[in-house]
Amino acid sequence: MQFVPYLNFDGDAAEAMAFYAELFGGRIVHQSTFGEMPPQEGMPPLPEAAKGRLMHAHLQVGAQSIMASDTMPGMSGQADEACAGGYRKPQGMWVAIQVDSADEGRRVFDGLARDGQVAMPFQATFWSAGFGMVTDRFGTPWMVNVPGEA
């Protein structure tokens, strides 16, 4: 069994996934837009503003994956928002990353922190040679951790 984070964005999923691929040293193995979906019977017409948004992206980093999509534009506040795809900022969760060294942790943390918001600076703790919490510029909350004692 493997758990795979699935991230949602409000129109900048392609930019976020390209950034994560570069930062984490991975590659995007699939990416498709809403405009590339084949037409389906009974589906309402796709708004023009949605056609370029990502319907699905899959980033592979070694044996790990992160998947993502954009939400449909203009859906926020609807009663069926969860199904309609209205964007909400992530809350109540963090994507945790384990890295092999404090140097690698610092590199990853600093990359995520660029134009983001630091909740806890990357530093040694009583449980780790390096740990920090940051929400990146795309709104995704991350914890970067070096396993083992400081």
Average confidence score pLDDT of the chain: 89
Token representation of residue 41 = 């019977």
Output the pLDDT for position 85: 56
Encode pLDDT of 31-43 as tens digits.
Answer: 999 999 887 888 7
Place of tokens 């996934």: 17
**Is the per-residue pLDDT at 7 higher than 60?**
yes
Q: Spell out the domains of the chain, with CATH numbers in brackets.
A: 1-74 (3.30.720.100), 89-150 (3.10.180.10)
**Is the per-residue pLDDT at 122 higher than 80?**
yes
Local structure of residue 146 (DSSP, 8 states): -
Local structure of residue 82 (DSSP, 8 states): H
Nearest C-alpha neighbor of 87 from the set 64, 68, 70: 70
Q: Give phi and psi for 39, each to the nearest 5.
A: -60, 145
Output the pLDDT for position 57: 98
Using a 10 angstrom Cβ sphere, with 0-12 exposed, 13-18 middle and 19 or more buried, the burial of residue 104 is: middle
Token representation of residue 98 = 């384990």
Nearest C-alpha neighbor of 8 from the set 125, 90, 79, 113: 90
